[in-house]
Structure 1
Amino acid sequence: MSNISNDVRPKVADVVARYADYCDHAEWEKAAGLFTDDGVFDAQAIFGQIVQGRPALAEFMSTRPAAVAHHPTTFYVDAVKDDEYHVRMKMLVLFHGALSSIDYQWTMTQIGDEMQIRRQEIAMVGRVTNKASR
């Protein structure tokens, strides 16, 4: 069971929704803006890279394979410290001819009234392709 205050989960849910929407519409600066200034995107498991800082994050995200849609399915939040939270999320990402299941792990921090991603790590759980895309 989670050990968070009642106001944290809706703030995290807002970041989850915005992240998926910004990625779906190629709004990379906005997506990077969901991270802290020195935020880290650890994509080592899928893309072999770790990227840090908003400008580098926006550039990195803009060069990834184009997805048709990101569909966050579930997430949960656990408090680590007073202003730090761990978030585990499952995302289904639809590509032309493929569907991927991705695990997201976020370390988030509350800055003022906003939740921001301090670190994001992604890992592929599975991928299904149709015959035409092989």
Structure 2
Amino acid sequence: MEDRFAIHELIALYGHLIDEGEWHRLGELFTDDIVFDTSAFEHGEITEGLARLAADWATPGWPHPVAHHATNIVIRTLELDRAEVLSKGIGVGRKGRVGSVTYRDTLVKSAAGWRIKHRVAQLQRGR
């Protein structure tokens, strides 16, 4: 149960750090070798490495929503030092537009705790 709680806290912390622009704290969320895949978005890409991710996101004008809300967190696989997690995110844009994303995460556990090693963000579009 302790690991499950820690994983839920990690997924929730993401929105708080991003919305506050606390780029120096991204190591609390991600491994140094994070692979973050936003290729499903209009201007998305696959970003490799914590340093590059932090530098990109700190760039003025980077297209982040003003609010990230994590929900529907499902731990699909939980092993001693690895987990597969599925969650939803609701983002509110600068002009009030709301969007939904599905996150598919691979987490690893180290001495520092659980961290996201690989994240795929898929924008939800109408069917």
TM-score class, shorter-chain normalisation, is 0.7 to 0.9
Residues paired across the two proteins, number: 122
Shift of 1:32: 4.6
**Runs of 4+ residues over 2 Å off in structure 1:** 60-64, 78-82
Give the unaligned 5+ runs of structure 2.
Answer: none
Counterpart CA distance in 2 for 1:32 and 1:113 is 10
User: Which moves more between the two structures, 105-114 or 26-35?
Assistant: 26-35
Counterpart CA distance in 2 for 1:66 and 1:116 is 21
1:52 is aligned to 48
2:3 is aligned to 8
3-state secondary structure, aligned to 1:126: coil
Q: What TM-score do the two structures reach when normalised by structure 1?
A: 0.82
1:91 is aligned to 89
Q: Decide which structure has greater strand share.
A: 1
> Does structure 2 conserve the Cα–Cα contact (< 8 Å) formed by 1:32 and 1:58?
no
2:58 is aligned to 62
Counterpart CA distance in 2 for 1:33 and 1:59 is 16
3-state secondary structure, aligned to 2:125: strand
1:20 is aligned to 15
Counterpart CA distance in 2 for 1:14 and 1:80 is 15
> Does structure 2 conserve the Cα–Cα contact (< 8 Å) formed by 1:18 and 1:31?
no
Q: Tell me, yes or no, if structure 1 residue 122 matches structure 2 residue 121.
A: yes
